[in-house]
Copies of this chain bind each other. A is one copy, B any other.
Amino acid sequence: MGYDEVMTEVRWLDAREQMIWRGFLGATGSFMEHLDRQMQRDSGMPLAYFEILAVLSEMPGRSLRMSELATMCRSSRSRLSHAVSRLEEAGWVRRRACESDKRGQFAELTEEGFKVLERAAPGHVMTVREHLFDVLTAQQLDQLDEITAAIKIGLSPQCDSAKAELRAEF
């Protein structure tokens, strides 16, 4: 960051851009907070933990290596490790050693964890539908899909390293 900051002028946000930016922050922030609160209230866990259970439930054997699970949940290894410890205490997830790689661990959804997930899912899906899919037109959903795709590409590591190299040339 230092390089750009010193060498190039900052292109500040104009009035319209600020509106868009604040609108984005407000909408996504409030929406995610709403979802998190719903999950905490109705199922006693944060949304992030629900996501862990949900991802596991879709895997063959309902289990996944810790690092893959971390990637799929966009979580750091550390965060996931703590989270799985808590979920293990609750009896919803169990750790299993990996035989082919003795450093590895699998996280596996327990039967009870699956039931908890089944109970939590309807309220979650309904909240998502109510505040996202029901408030947008089909066209807007297509647009949203392309917008989020573009943002993700812009954040992808290849993209970042490409830009870093570009800078390094000068």
Say whether chain A's binding surface is mostly helix, strand, loop, or mixed: helix
| Chain B residues positioned under 8 Å from A132 (CB to CB) | 21, 24, 151, 154
| Chain B residues positioned under 8 Å from A12 (CB to CB) | 125
* A29 CB to nearest chain B CB (Å): 5
Q: What is the size, in residues, of chain A's interface with B at 8 Å between Cβ atoms?
A: 57
Q: How many copies does the complex hold?
A: 2
| Chain B residues positioned under 8 Å from A136 (CB to CB) | 147, 150-151
Closest partner residue, chain B, to A129 (CB atom): B11
With contacts A23-B149, A141-B20 taken as known, whether A154 is within 8 angstroms of B126 at the C-beta atoms is: no
- Asked if A169 is at the interface (CB within 8 A of a chain B CB), the reply is no
Closest partner residue, chain B, to A19 (CB atom): B145
Q: Which of B30, B133, B150, B151 contacts A74 (CB 8 A)?
A: B30
- Which residue, A4, A42, A125, A148, has most C-beta atoms of chain B within 10 A? A148
A26 touches B148 (CB 8 A): yes
A140 touches B135 (CB 8 A): no
| Chain B residues positioned under 8 Å from A74 (CB to CB) | 25-26, 29-30, 33
- Asked if A32 is at the interface (CB within 8 A of a chain B CB), the reply is yes
Can you list, as one digit per residue, whether each of A3-24 has a CB less than 8 Å from chain B (1) or not (0)? 0110000111100010111011
What would be 5 A-B contacts, judged by CB atoms less than 8 Å apart?
A20-B148, A24-B132, A27-B152, A131-B151, A147-B147
